[in-house]
Amino acid sequence: MNNWIDPFRNPAVADVLAGRIGDLGRQLAVRRPGPIRIMEVCGSHTMSIARYGLRDLLPPQVDLVSGPGCPVCVTDTGYLDTAICLARQGVIIATFGDMLNVPGSDTTLGRVRSEGARIEVCYSPSEALAHARQNPGREVVFLAIGFETTIGPVISLIDPARTEGLKNLSLLVAFKRIPPALALLRADPELAIDAFLCPAHVSAIIGAHAYDFLTGPKGIPCVIAGFEPLDILIGIDHILQQKMKGEARVENLYNRVVRENGNLRAQALIDRILEPVSTPWRGLGILPDSGLALRPDYADFDAPRKLGVPLKTGVPPTACRCGDVIKGKLHPPECPLFGLACNPDHPVGPCMVSAEGSCAAAFKYARLALSPSNCVVHQPD
């Protein structure tokens, strides 16, 4: 018995919650046509929902759609092309492993590595410091992608590198902030998002109040939930209860981790080193103030400025529908390539590569209904 986890995986409680969610879904369907569309924003939620088959527990009146919460998936093709260009110029690329197989415009970092480029997979950003120390004659560029959760640990490299006098470490930055993406998705009438199941880890940094602007008289419910199956079902239950009452509030159901104002130390670190910028998102376009770039005081750690290699504009893979999957417009099996031309061994888009990608989750656990033209041979674990 694990007292921290098992209570959040209790099947009897899940049954009760599923029954209540079913009742609420049916009651809401009497009031308005069409399903209630709830977007789970976080990639870890997406994986947990697929792993525990939570969609199977929901009534047809509740449509759970995945959002832009996988950092690898939302990173645009041009960023990968820039990283590939640097690798080919002899720079040592340090990166989290998922990035190796994400297609750039015409190749991947993994293929470039097999051709001789030096690409080091890191489990922690601090490993980039070690690579820089061990290779004083070569530039080491860390691929600095991710949301508010990852940003702190990555930029924590900078102060020790400066103190040590390491001159051969820099970052290729494509950090992203979740709130501007949610604002865009909320405002899109075609997507008709009724509520957000807000990300847990990101919320631990930015705090529950960061979603206040999405709520109120013209807003929608924003409920923060943890990653265990009961966390998620309770989150959905609370969203539907808010809908029944005509409310649109932020509810923090993950208060074992998330505080109302977030992690103030992490926020101060981010604010000292980074400044808001417009940045491109796969599927969403260029969003104002949705990215964070190094402030001028830290220009010596900014790989494009330091190495004179501007960020490229990439060409996303033809026929890949990752942009629509990221926006919640499409469930992964509705992509014509899902499970056929695109699978984890031969991913066409990032959503099939990343451990948090919607297509990878749907393929691995194979629980979403498949379109008639698709045939998945993989069996769930």
Quick one: 21 or 351, whose CB is closer to ligand SF4?
351
Question: Treating both helix axes as pointing N-terminal to C-terminal, what angle do 358-365 and 43-51 enclose, rounded to 10 degrees?
Answer: 10
Task: Select 49 or 233, whichever has its Cβ closest to ligand SF4.
Answer: 49
Whole-angstrom distance, CA of residue 23 vs CA of residue 239: 13
Closer residue to ligand SF4, CB minimum distance, 311 or 359: 359
Least Å from the CB of residue 289 to ligand SF4: 27
* Nearest Cα residue to 344 out of 333, 328, 355, 331: 355
- Rounded CA gap, 44 and 245, in Å? 29
Minimum Å gap between C-beta 178 and ligand SF4 is 21
- Residue 348 C-beta: closest distance to ligand SF4, Å: 4
**What is the rounded CA–CA span in Å between residue 170 and residue 148?**
19
CB nearer to ligand SF4: pick between 19 and 380: 380
Contact residues for ligand SF4, defined by CB under 6 A: 320-322, 325, 332, 335, 337-338, 342, 348-349, 351-352, 359
Smallest separation, CB 344 to ligand SF4 (Å): 10
Q: How many CB atoms lie within 10 A of CB 319?
A: 12
> How many CB atoms are closer than 10 A to CB 186?
18
Gap between the Cα atoms of 339 and 331, Å rounded: 13
Residue 239 vs 342, nearer CB to ligand SF4 = 342
The DSSP annotation for 92-133 comes to: EEEE-GGGGGS--SS--HHHHHHTT--EEE-SSTHHHHHHHH
User: Smallest distance, Å, CB 54 to ligand SF4?
Assistant: 20
Report in angstroms how near the CB of residue 343 gets to ligand SF4 at its nearest: 8
96/338 with CB nearer ligand SF4: 338
Nearest to 361 by CA among 96, 53, 47: 47
